[in-house]
Amino acid sequence: MLSQISRDQYPCRLSSEKIKLFAAWYENSQLSKEQDEDGSMSPGRKLLITPRGKKIVFNASVEIPLLRKWYEETPKPDLKDLTRYAEILNNLEERKTREQVLARHVNTWFKNERARLRREGLLEDLSRPSMAVSTSS
């Protein structure tokens, strides 16, 4: 129904006043989801949940080796580490003239790297016990 209204294909016509009221309600409901009980945004939500921006492309010769090194040290970094990695990347000479890296960009790279390694069979899911049967005698 909402998608029909947004495309102006809803069978019943709505007044512009009702559409404005709905838009205000929807915007308010989205904002309240992002706020803590005290009305403030939590630090993690501010950095990791933001509107989509431009796609970040990491430099293959400088940034990717750094990211892979950090991944080997900590495959699942916390927000503090992600923020620190983003700062380091932003201070590199190659990044000075390009889009700045945010913690969420680094988080996405780590998530994609885990998926790539799983897909290639190089990463064992440590959260699940192995179902393999030992064949040693």
Label each residue of 66-91 as H, E or C.
Answer: HHHHHHHHCCCCCHHHHHHHHHHHHC
Residue among 71, 90, 91 at smallest CA distance from 81: 71
Beta bridge partners of 41: 35
State the sign of the Cα–Cα–Cα–Cα dihedral 66, 68, 71, 77.
positive
pLDDT digits (tens, 9 = 90+) for 79-128: 999 999 999 999 999 898 888 999 999 999 999 999 999 888 876 655 55
Q: What is the pLDDT of residue 24?
A: 76
Q: If you count them, how many residues does the chain have?
A: 137
Strand partners, 35: 41
pLDDT in tens, 1-42: 666 666 666 677 777 777 777 777 777 776 655 554 555 555
Same structural domain for residues 115 and 73? yes
Same domain, 115 and 71: yes
Q: What is the pLDDT of residue 9?
A: 64
Please classify residue 89 by burial: count the beta carbons closer than 10 Å to its beta carbon, then call 0-12 exposed, 13-18 middle and 19+ buried: buried
CA distance 4 to 93: 48
* Strand, helix or coil for residue 35: strand
Maximum distance among all alpha carbons in the chain? 78
pLDDT of residue 130 exceeding 50, the answer is no
- Same domain, yes or no, for 29 and 69? no
Residue 2: its pLDDT value, please? Answer: 67
List the structure tokens of 69. 């090194």
Show the domain range for 77: 63-119
Does residue 19 belong to any structural domain of this protein?
Answer: yes
| pLDDT score for 110 | 95
Scanning the structure block, which residue is given the tokens 């309600």?
25
Q: Are residues 28 and 72 in the same domain?
A: no
Q: Which pTM was predicted?
A: 0.54
Instruction: Give the CA angle between residues 90, 91, 93 to the nearest 5°.
Output: 100
Section 41-57 average pLDDT: 60
Q: What does the pLDDT read at residue 134?
A: 47
Q: How many domains does the chain have?
A: 2
For position 92, which CATH number holds?
Answer: 1.10.10
